[in-house]
Amino acid sequence: MGAATKSSHSKKRRTRRRHLRRTLLALGLGLPAAMLGLWIAVHRVVWLGPMLADGLRAVVGVGTVTRMEEIAYAVEDRWNRYWRTDERPQAYWEVPSAQAAPTPTSCAGDSGPPALPAFRPTDVGPVHQSWSAPGDGQWVPMRDPRRPQAAAVMYKTLLHPDQYRSWAEVFVVAVDLRQVDLRLMAGRYEPKSLEKEAKDYPRPAVVPARHYDDLLAAFNGGFKAEHGYHGMWIDNVQLVKPRKHSCTVAHYRDGSVRIGSWPSLEPTLPEMTWYRQGPRCMVEDGQMHPGLRDPKARTWGATLDGETVIRRSAIGLDREGKILYVSITNSTTAKAIALGMQHAGAWSVAQLDVNWSYPKFVTFEPGEAGPELYPVALAKGFEFSEDEYLRKRSHRDFFYLTRKTEAGATAGK
């Protein structure tokens, strides 16, 4: 082989190596950038995250996707703890310095039923006195824009239960169950049912128009069926069979609500109108679950590690069953949301759906152009569409709140 030929081959090898280095460099820079862009997009476009997760589950399985999510959220949490370590907890709304005593909840005449005692939860203050935002633990009334003169039947507060993460926020709404009814709606697709009796069950998956006049708020339901196969029974139809150890939210014919483990509530099934289950109760009979108290216990629920720092949601009741608590969070562990709910006053707590796209709590108010209702977020950063729960069929089950009739409210006194 001549010198010219050797030189030509050498130049080709150097050129190939140069191209390979450039390709590897581009991948080294481009892949992380693409992953970062995808992560940002998932947290900005409501439908993108669920679509990608469901697509991946179909290819690699539920367990693999769960582990991928845990790794991604762990990386995000490490970054936040490095970058945001000096941040102080922030407030999301103004808290009145002095609130006037609420008026009775009805103005019945001499011939009408007696007015109910005014509703206002007792302020609980911050979880950590030295690690809180202004107004933490103080209840702020949520007025109904369609009834501006009516006394509030819902209050909200914000808590920061994680002293190591100022951005770990638990938003809690307290609801007067004497005057408000909790309702359940099956999603268009979830929970997916394998029961024959549910094959022809209609799933409108929106708030019925007949409830619009009394509609107050709506919030997300429980896990997908494949994430634990927790039970759901509604309209005398079994969508998913009950699980023995699942925490159960049950609604009764008298309008009352109970939350507890299935064995404790199963005997009352004949009096129920519906029930929805989730993972084991976070708090039951005033006691936090041992799996949350034990620092060595990591697994919680059917999806994601209990220590995974993500957006979560939960539902709870006070000891007397008269106040319903609903919470949605930013960047919390399972223990943090349970602690926040317990601090707010919940005696029993069930976890609802988790992850960035699903937890949400919205109230409703008329638009500027007419009486048509539109959702309003409890706090900024929780994404939803303008047709959420009303005109857009929800893929997953959800709860909604309506004012009780005067007779129903009097009965719940």
Q: For residue 336, give both structure tokens.
A: 């943090």
- In the prediction, which pLDDT does 364 show? 96
- Residue 136 CB partners (closer than 8 Å, separation 6+): 89, 91, 125, 126, 127, 157, 158, 159, 160
Contact 182, 401 (CB under 8 A): yes
Percent of the chain with pLDDT over 90: 61
More confident residue, 87 or 20: 87
Residue range 37-50, pLDDT digits in tens: 444 444 555 554 55
**pTM score of the predicted model:** 0.83
The residues facing 364 across adjacent strands are 375
Position 206 scores a pLDDT of 98
At 116, list the tokens. Answer: 């109910």
Mean pLDDT across the stretch 183-208? 97
**Residues 6 or more apart in contact with residue 205 via CB below 8 angstroms:** 185, 186, 187, 188, 393, 394, 395
The C-alpha atoms of residue 208 and residue 185 are separated, in whole angstroms, by 9
Q: Which helix or strand (DSSP H or E) is residue 328 part of?
A: strand 323-330
What pLDDT score does 375 carry?
96
pLDDT in tens, 89-139: 999 998 887 665 666 665 444 444 567 889 999 999 999 988 899 999 999
Predicted confidence at residue 115, as pLDDT, reads: 74
Task: Give the domain ranges of the chain.
Answer: 3-83, 140-411
* Residue 367: predicted pLDDT: 86
Write the pLDDT tens digit of every residue in 323-341. 999 999 999 999 999 999 9
Q: Check residue 35 and give its pLDDT.
A: 44
pLDDT, tens digit, 9 for 90 and up, residues 288-332: 999 898 765 555 554 555 578 899 999 999 999 999 999 999 999
What is the reported pLDDT for 368? 82
Residue type, 1: M
Look up residue 280 and give its DSSP letter. Answer: S
Kindly report, residue by residue over 365-399, the tens digit of the pLDDT.
998 877 899 999 999 888 788 999 999 999 999 99
State the pLDDT confidence band at 27, using cuts at 50, 70 and 90.
very low
Could you give the C-alpha distances from 20 to 8, 25, 33, 184, 401, in angstroms and in order?
Answer: 18, 8, 20, 58, 61
Q: What pLDDT was estimated at residue 296? A: 55
- 217-275 pLDDT, tens digit per residue, is 999 999 999 999 999 999 999 999 999 999 999 999 999 999 999 999 999 999 999 99
Least confident of 24-28, 81-85, 217-221, 266-270: 24-28
Instruction: Report which of 235, 263, 225 is spatially closest to residue 247, judged by C-alpha positions.
Output: 263
SS3 category, 322:
coil
d(CA 199, CA 195): 7
Binning pLDDT at 50, 70 and 90, where does residue 2 land? low
